[in-house]
Amino acid sequence: SQQGEEDPQALSIQEGENATMNCSYKTSINNLQWYRQNSGRGLVHLILIRSNEREKHSGRLRVTLDTSKKSSSLLITASRAADTASYFCATPGAGNTGKLIFGQGTTLQVKP
């Protein structure tokens, strides 16, 4: 069953603008991860945020987590054409046994 669902499904912006993607999930989690995927290649791990964290930064990335709303957001600031990719959130399966459950992703296009 789908745990994380990203919104919007597709996003198109100009270089230099900020991009915000949202992820909603259904059950209690102890962490949430964001990944990037370029053109159907492998997933690149971007950031992991734990349930006791509300916000985390990594370079131009800012991730927030609201466990009361069961939602997370990924903000990419000052976007570049190289940020064009699909972005996925992933949450642990039941029992935190290592299984990850992914949403369908947000496809981001950054126009030069």
Using CB under 8 A, list all residues that contact another protein.
Answer: 4, 30-31, 33, 35, 40-45, 48, 50, 88, 90, 92-93, 96-105
Least gap, CB of 33 to another protein (angstroms)? 7
Q: Which is nearer to another protein, 40 or 112 (CB)?
A: 40
In the bound state with another protein, the residue whose beta carbon lies nearer, of 14 and 51, is 51
Distance CA 90, CA 68 (A): 18
Nearest CA among 23, 19, 12 for reference residue 73: 23
